[in-house]
Every structure is written in structure tokens, then in C-alpha cells.
Structure 1
């Protein structure tokens, strides 16, 4: 068996497909969860960051559907236990903190960055798998989303460090 055949064998391709289904479920559920996080935020900058990421997340769903199409597969979601847990954790932060406080905003940023880190790990892995499989168009699409997830994480860090955390600390 050639190296190329080993790289695209059915088990490897199935791993890629399973991970694609996982992140597809995750992104679709984030589209539903992000509005509540935006509604719970106090800082106008944080609300704007979440709303911007909501729009990006909708685009991520579309891109994943494009990757499924490139593979000749129908888009299919597979429950992502990790994202379900991260979304539940975010809901808990909203429930356990007082509204209209920077402490809540700091908690929202923490929850959001946990989500971003999960997405960065997922997309980074998918990019690597697509590269090994020789799926250059899928790799390109997934790389764009990975870049956006990293930027969202960086933007949240800047927002936390420039104002939210300091204001939360004095409340």
C-alpha cells in the first residue's frame, strides 16, 4: 500500500468526517447560544464582539457545509459533548452572576475563550487531517475559519486586558 493510500484509507477519512460532524454540531449550537451571551453582557464592546462572532459563526456553518459538499457528503451533525458542556458552563455563568456587572462580563469572556480554544483545537486538527488527505480545498476553507477563531480569541483577550478585568476587579 502506498503512502498516499494509507493517508486516505477509510478509517482515516472516517476520523476526518466524524470530526467534521462534531464541529458542525458545535457551530450550529453556538449560533443558538451566542445571542444569550450578548444579551447578558454589559460592555458595549463585548456585546459587539459577541454579535460579530455570531455572524462569523453562521459563516462557519456555511463553510462546513461546503466542506461536506467537497467530500460528496450531506452535512450531518454529530453531538459534540465538549461544546454542549462549554455552552452549559456559559449558561451557568449568566445565571450565577449579577446582571449589569463587569464581573459577569469577565465570566462571559472566560466562557467565550474556552469555546474559542476548543474551536481552535478542532479546526487546527481538521486542517492537518485535510492536508494529509490531499483535500487542499477543504484545507483552505478550514484554515480560513481557524484564522478567524484565533482572531476572536485574541480580540477577547485584548478586551479583557484593556478594560473588563480591571473594572470587574473593583466592583
Structure 2
């Protein structure tokens, strides 16, 4: 796809967002299966929310008079690939400890940070293009949900695990 105008750029980013959300449906299921407790619950909950994100994007495509189309993203493929190739071992917070593969939490955070930036770009471009509310509002709603998920995961990242040997012990 040649990107020559802001509308082209918006369309290109929209296709990437659609690909990312559809890929996230699979990835979130895999991530949730590889952990337990609150993180598993959060990931499964976000997977259901992601279904709404896909529906919203399809609505945006319709509002623009376009057929939904996904465009591959190396970044998104990379998150999924890294998780699938991680091997066995502790995954929730600490990963392997050898830096060879991201943990479930790290993978989820990478994906959420990518999605937040994607939606920030889409909202900015939609504003510059003066698109109607039926385009802007679904993107803003999804951006707010992605930011909240990212915030929740970042809070979890800051909480030291009792199983983490590098955590300072209470005296």
C-alpha cells in the first residue's frame, strides 16, 4: 500500500490495528493458559474486551465505507512468536531469568503498549481528518480501555513476587 496522504496513513494504521486486535484474541488465550491467578483472570477478561475492539474497528471500517481488512504487523507477529518460542519455565512475572524470552506479563505489556500507541495515532489522525463521531468515538473508547489494561499490567509488574529471589526480604 502506498502511503501518500494522511487518509492513506489512517487507513494503513487502521488495518494494522485490526490485525493486532484479531491476533490479540489468540495471543491472550495462549497467555492466559500459561499463567494462573489474577493475571490469568485479567488476561481472559481483556480477551473478551478485545472482541469488542474488533467489532468497533469493523464499525469504523463500515463508517468509512470500507471492507475490514487486516494488514500484517511485524511487531505483533514478534510478540506472539516470542511467546510461542519461550519454552517451559516460570512465566508469570520473572520469565526464565536468563533474558532469553519475555514472561507472560512482559509479553502482555509489550502488546498493550503497542496497541495504546496505535490507537493514539489513529485518534490523532482521525481528528486531523475531521472524521465524524462514528469513527472517532469507537477509537477513543478502545484507547481508554487499552490504557486501563496497560495501567493494570504495569501495576502488576511493580509488585514483587514472593517467589522472586531478587526481591528484598522483609526483616
Report the TM-score, using the length of structure 2 for normalisation: 0.84
1:160 Cα deviation from its structure 2 partner? 2.7
Q: Larger RCO: Structure 1 or Structure 2 (Cα < 8 Å, ≥ 6 residues apart)?
A: 1
1:104 Cα deviation from its structure 2 partner? 4.1
- For 1:1-171, list aligned pairs within 5 A: 11-42=5-36, 44-93=37-86, 95-98=87-90, 103-104=94-95, 107-137=103-133, 138-162=135-159, 165-170=160-165
1:15 Cα deviation from its structure 2 partner? 1.0
Deviations 1:94-113 (A, max 9, x none): x24247x7534982111111
Structure 2 unmatched ranges of 5 or more: 97-101, 167-171
Report the TM-score, using the length of structure 1 for normalisation: 0.84
Contact 1:41 1:104 in 2 (8 A): no
Contact 1:31 1:54 in 2 (8 A): yes
3-state SS in 1 of match to 2:72 = coil
How many equivalent residue pairs? 157
Deviations 1:80-138 (A, max 9, x none): 11100111122234x24247x75349821111111111001100000000001111321
Structure 1 unmatched ranges of 5 or more: 1-9
Contact 1:103 1:168 in 2 (8 A): no
- C-alpha RMSD of the superposition: 2.1
In the aligned structure 2, how far is the partner of 1:38 from the partner of 1:118?
19
3-state SS in 2 of match to 1:166 = coil
